[in-house]
Amino acid sequence: MDGLETARFSAVVVVGLLVFFYGGTFLISTRIGKREENADGYMTAGNNIGFGISAASMTATWIWASSMYASATSGYQYGISGPVHYGLWGALMILFIYPFGKRIRAVAPKAHTLAEVMYARHGRSSQLMLAGSNVVGSLISLMSNFIAGGVLISLLSPFTFVQGVFAVAAGVLLYTLWSGFRASVLTDFVQVLAMLGAVAVIVPFVFVAADFPAVFETGAGNLTPQQGNFFSSEAFMQQGAPYIAAVLAYAIGNQTIAQRLFAVKETLIKPTFVTATIGYGAMVIGVGMLGVLALYLGFEPAGGDLNNIIPGMAATYLPPLLLAAFFVMIIGALSSTADSDLSALSSIMMTDVYGQNISGKENANPRTMLLVGRLTMVVATAAAVAFASLQLSILDLLVFVGALWGALVFPVLASFYWDKVTGRAFTTSVLAALAVFLPVRFAWIPMEAAHGAVGITVDVLSVIGIGVVLGLMVFGFLGAKVAKVVGVLATALSAPFALGSLHEYATLCGSLVAYSVSTVICWAMSTRQREGFDFAVIAQRTGDFDDGEAAARAPAAHDVEAGVPPQPGIDDAESESTVKIK
């Protein structure tokens, strides 16, 4: 794409806007930096962030440029129900995090990563599996945000896509490198206020400028029957249902979310996530309606690339001043998530790679940890810039990563509630789920025949996956008994409609089979375990690296590897902190 053909700003103006935004965020980050940096503060800001900062940071992290672009793409492809499916389910997933989050913080109050907790719970294999999936996911997230920035800059300025990617990457790295997670959460607060204000003005202005609401009558002929139907089955099967499963996996497996969970004051978990739910839903659905408007207008995105819908609509209908506000809004949205990805990656490398697998927790040097964290940010930025040149579909990337993490959801959650889950069950179930997910998701196995053995098998696994997803959602709020009832009913009621046809939706089936296979195998291998796990030892095995107590907390290496606690296991009936899932 040649930015010269669609430029709305001169090079000087764009450089000025970038310097204004990234220069300002860098100045903010320098005010919170410490001469004697603390490794734990660099990762979780002391586990004591207040409501305003934490709610804004959670909102800004979940609202990224990719969310806005993907919501608009969904509206353009599926009509008015597209952004609703994208924004509503994404918002509800934030809400579903908090009951699980309260349990996670109760078990591991001062952990830095979920993988660190899995190390204490099961051993090295489950830790590295969860950490590795987060490295892949965060790199893809980082790449998609750089793609969004490159598209925006190339459309609105004389600069090329590659130059735009480099500018955004350098700006994000500039301020995040300085103070790590603290810089991320503080700048998130400023960024989310700017985004909310810009959306409240820009989206209504574009609708008025495009002759709303008359365009919904004059442009109705541009829609297919499915696009014009708010209750479109195509929109639900292709967008809504896969995203329900994908974002639940994001909520549980994503280190950027876990990092904020470990950073916020424990008493503020619920109000933080409830507030973020409302903010995310309102903003993402609102911006996604630009894609619906583009569909009615018959708008053709530049180069046929759906990532260009939002920048193209803004360039067409906004005056220069509002276009500048739009530019800053998108840059803020992508930066708020990109800095979270860098912070998440640095925490994983500091804690899970260096802190526990290279030096050992008792020998970890906080200064070396900081160096590892900063080098990780530099390397991750360079890798994401290189991958961004592929200009892949942002919506496809988001759904793929969420489905990939679906293999981890049940084993991770069960490990916090059920004392019988073993490290072997965790590892085997996740690997088996991935082995089934990949050929289903990418149609490596032919399933054309509606009643063929492969197709029916996939349908059966997918139906079980429906029960698992809905059961897990209910479990967090209403407990195991109600969750089991909901899961069984969901499976039974969906079976008559799904068997024989569900395998035709590869994106949805890939996610559902990941859930079902991992759940069935993890349960089957764990239910035979006789000895229970004492959850109290997790708090002893995790915690600060800077307080000099690591050696006292660290158990014997063979105990961690085997997943055997240094104390005898306790029965769930005798412990109020343990909830059984059977």
What does the pLDDT look like over 535-575, one tens digit per residue?
999 988 887 777 644 444 444 333 433 343 433 333 333 33
Distance CA(444)–CA(441), nearest Å, equals: 8
CB 161 within 8 A of CB 1: yes
Q: At what angle do helices 241-253 and 453-478 cross, to 10 degrees?
A: 60
d(CA 459, CA 453): 10
Rounded (5°) CA angle 165-170-171: 100
Q: Is the preceding peptide bond at 99 cis, omega within 30 degrees of 0? A: no
CB atoms near residue 393 (< 10 Å): 17
- 116 contact partners, CB below 8 Å, separation of at least 6: 108, 127, 351, 352, 355, 356, 542
pLDDT given at position 581: 39
Residue 292 backbone phi and psi in degrees, to 5: -65, -45
CA angle 246, 249, 255 (to 5 degrees): 125
Task: Give 269's Cβ-side CA count (13 Å radius).
Answer: 22
Find out whether 195 and 325 touch, Cβ atoms under 8 Å. no
Three-state DSSP class for 299?
Answer: coil
Residue found by looking up tokens 């530099």 in the block: 378
> Cβ distance 518 to 524 under 8 Å?
no
Say which residues have a Cβ less than 8 Å from residue 149's Cβ, sequence separation at least 6.
65, 164, 165, 167, 168, 169, 330, 331, 334
Widest CA span in the chain: 72
pLDDT at residue 52, as a whole number:
81
Can you give the pLDDT at residue 493? Answer: 94
pLDDT of amino acid 8: 76
Tokens, residue 494: 């969906």
Written as six digits, the tokens of 323 are 């276009």
For position 296, what pLDDT does the model report? 92
Per the structure block, which two tokens stand in for 385? Answer: 């810039």
**pLDDT tens per residue, range 376-393:** 999 999 999 988 877 666
Show the low-confidence residues of the chain (pLDDT under 70): 1-7, 32-37, 65-66, 391-404, 447-451, 547-582
The number of beta carbons lying within 10 Å of the beta carbon of residue 551 is 11
* Chain Cα centroid distance, residue 570: 35
Q: For the purposes of burial, counting CB atoms within 10 Å of the CB of 492, is it exposed (0-12), middle (13-18) or buried (19 or more)?
A: exposed
**Residue 64 CA to its chain's centroid (Å):** 10
Q: Are 435 and 531 in contact (CB under 8 A)?
A: no
Tell me if residue 264 falls in helix, strand or coil: strand
Q: Which residues contact 108 (CB under 8 A, 6 or more apart)?
A: 116, 117, 120, 262, 538, 539, 542
CA-CA distance, 328 to 528, in Å (whole number)? 56
Looking at the DSSP assignment, which residues form a beta bridge with residue 49?
Answer: 264
- One-letter amino acid at 467 equals G
* Residue 104 to residue 239: CA distance in whole angstroms: 30
What is the spatial distance between Cα 326 and Cα 73, in angstroms, rounded to a whole number?
Answer: 18
Cβ atoms of 142 and 311 closer than 8 Å:
no
Query: What phi, psi does 316 have (nearest 5°)?
Result: -80, -40
Separation of alpha carbons 443 and 429, rounded Å: 21
| Rounded Cα gap, residues 438 and 243, in angstroms | 17
What CA–CA distance (Å, rounded) separates 363 from 374?
20
